[in-house]
Amino acid sequence: MPAASPYPPRTKATTPLKPMLRLRSWKRADKPGSSLVGFAGIELPFRGSVLKVDDLPVCVSHGKAWAAWPARPVVTKDGVVSKIPGTGKTRYVNILRWSDRDISQRFSDAVVALVRAHDPEAFADQAGPG
């Protein structure tokens, strides 16, 4: 049986997660042509303590914004950083992830909402809702 979620159920598709999540830091990335908007540092209360996470990438593409957990480059058994064929871009793998897709989406929505409240112009160059 899965553990009970510490977050209230989502009432509609656009309702973000409403935990006592706090934005600790925000740094815009200046990468024209990239989906990366910047990096967020957050605090997430957990059982009387606080999980502090730095450098969550916040991205936007095709009018959709999202936050992801920090990731690490994939390194082959030969010690070479793996690239995505045809693009030359580094391949990354998650080091943290939610066990439930709904919680993952709600967490992402909450981080994006905090960034939008802190820096409304961060997504100004991107068309569409996120």
Q: What is the tens place of the pLDDT at every residue in 54-103? A: 999 999 999 899 999 999 999 999 999 999 999 989 999 999 999 999 99
Does residue 26 lie within any of the structural domains?
yes
Does residue 92 lie within any of the structural domains?
no
Q: Name the domain count of the chain.
A: 1
| Confidence band for 130, pLDDT divided at 50, 70 and 90 | very low
Does residue 114 lie within any of the structural domains?
yes
Looking at residue 27, the DSSP 8-state letter turns out to be E
Does residue 27 lie within any of the structural domains?
yes
Read off the pTM. Answer: 0.75
Does residue 56 lie within any of the structural domains?
yes
Does residue 93 lie within any of the structural domains?
no
Residue 15: enclosing H or E segment and its boundaries?
none
Amino acid at the residue 40: A
Query: Could you list the residue range(s) of the whole structural domain that residue 57 is in?
Result: 22-68+99-123
Question: Is the separation of the CB atoms in 83 and 72 below 8 Å?
Answer: no
